[in-house]
Amino acid sequence: MITTQGISSSLSAQRELPIGLFDSGVGGMTVLRAMREQLPNESFLYLGDTARMPYGTKGVDTVKRYAMEAAAKLVERGIKLLVIACNTATAAALPDVQAAFPHIDVVGVVEPGAEAACRATKSGYIAVIATSGTIRGRAYERAILRRMPEARISALACPLFVSMVEDGLLEGPLAEALAARYLDQIFHDPREQGLEVPDTLVLACTHFPLLRNAIAHVAGEGVTLVDSAGFTARDVRNLLQEKHLARGAGPDVGMPLCPGSVRFLTTDDVPRFTRMGELFLGIPIAPCTVELVTL
Ligand code: DGL
């Protein structure tokens, strides 16, 4: 028999667990950064599947398998909620991962990104840039049109942005040249012809916000850049509160894990992952907090 006391003590034990996040590499750290800001009392366990990135150029069944394996690794370590901090994996596998782990909430990044876009646009003309996998699946178009049926959407795959970010090449002439190569057809060329351009650009890959300056420069004035991170963190905060799983607000302050602590799992090259993590999160990462794992 489960007593009320049993239920509440298992809830407090669950509350102490970290939030799990995964991405193919370091891109999901843009989501982790927003979550650390909005959920300062929580701990996080982040998995970057760097050995198998990029996900965006792979077929949907392969991405599904990778996402399942990454999710299983995090669940096995003990997490209270899972964030798929990768648009490609969210688009390919969110319902499958939710069905495979029904005892925890699994949150994706596509719906929050679509929400951010619909709130930002005034003209209703939205551009979406993402990996080839995300664009092919049309997940963003569906999510935007569900909220705003009159929206006009230009969707474009920009796969090379991912390797650029993983190499730490975030600004400067090379980043801007690549951004122009992709984005001129949406912004520069129509402007030259006196045509309307989108007023909102969704960075629909969690790697892309790291190239924000180069992308904004090429998109030009009057274009608002949005991404999933802030709204994903907001959704997670609301969900944890609803489920009484938010940490640090109740009698269990003074918990064993430090609030805001982050641990990392990576499938390849720990020193490189640590270096990039420090760069993207802006916090020192102790080597003992990064573990090499096989999926
Ligand atoms: N950061 C991921 C996304 O949001 C995937 C990048 C990749 O591995 O291709 O789509």
Q: What is the per-residue pLDDT for 144?
A: 98
Q: Which atom of ligand 1 is nearest to the CA of 53?
A: 8
- Please give the Cα distance from 97 to 68 (Å, whole number): 6
- The domain spans of the chain are 4-108+230-292, 111-227
- Please give the Cα distance from 14 to 53 (Å, whole number): 31
pLDDT string in tens for the chain (295-residue length)? 556 666 666 888 899 999 999 999 999 999 999 999 999 999 999 999 999 999 999 999 999 999 999 999 999 999 999 999 999 999 999 999 999 999 999 999 999 999 999 999 999 999 999 999 999 999 999 999 999 999 999 999 999 999 999 888 999 999 999 999 999 999 999 999 999 999 999 999 999 999 999 999 999 999 999 999 999 999 999 999 999 999 875 444 444 445 568 999 999 999 999 988 888 888 888 889 999 999 9
Integer CA distances (angstroms), 115 to 9, 112, 233, 247, 265, in order: 36, 5, 13, 26, 30
Phi-psi region of 282 (alpha: psi -120 to 50; beta: other; left: phi over 0): left
Q: Which atom of ligand 1 is nearest to the CA of 130?
A: 10
Q: Which of 244, 273, 224, 204 is nearest to 46 (CA)?
A: 273
Give one DSSP letter per residue of 70-111, joined into a string: HHHHHHHH--SEEEE--HHHHHHHHHHHHHH-TTSEEE-SHH
The answer to whether the CB of 266 is under 6 A from ligand 1 is no
Q: Which atom of ligand 1 is nearest to the CA of 54?
A: 8
Which helix (DSSP H) or strand (DSSP E) does residue 226 occupy? strand 224-226
The pTM assigned to this predicted structure is 0.92
User: How far, in Å, is the centroid of ligand 1 from the Cα of 94?
Assistant: 14
The answer to whether the CB of 53 is under 6 A from ligand 1 is yes
What would the two tokens of residue 133 be? 């996998």
Amino acid type, 152: R
- Of 21, 23, 33, the residue with max ligand 1 atoms within 8 A of its CB, to mutate for a pocket test, comes to 23
- Please give the Cα distance from 197 to 105 (Å, whole number): 38
Q: What CATH class does 111-227 carry?
A: alpha beta
Query: Cβ(273)–Cβ(290) under 8 Å?
Result: yes
Please return the burial class of 212, using the count of CB atoms within 10 Å of its CB with bins 0-12, 13-18 and 19+: middle
User: How far, in Å, is the centroid of ligand 1 from the Cα of 131?
Assistant: 6
Query: Cβ(18)–Cβ(263) under 8 Å?
Result: yes
Q: In the CATH scheme, what is the code of domain 4-108+230-292?
A: 3.40.50.1860
Write down the H helix ranges in 101-172: 110-120, 132-137, 139-147, 160-166
Quick check: do 4-108+230-292 and 111-227 share a fold? yes
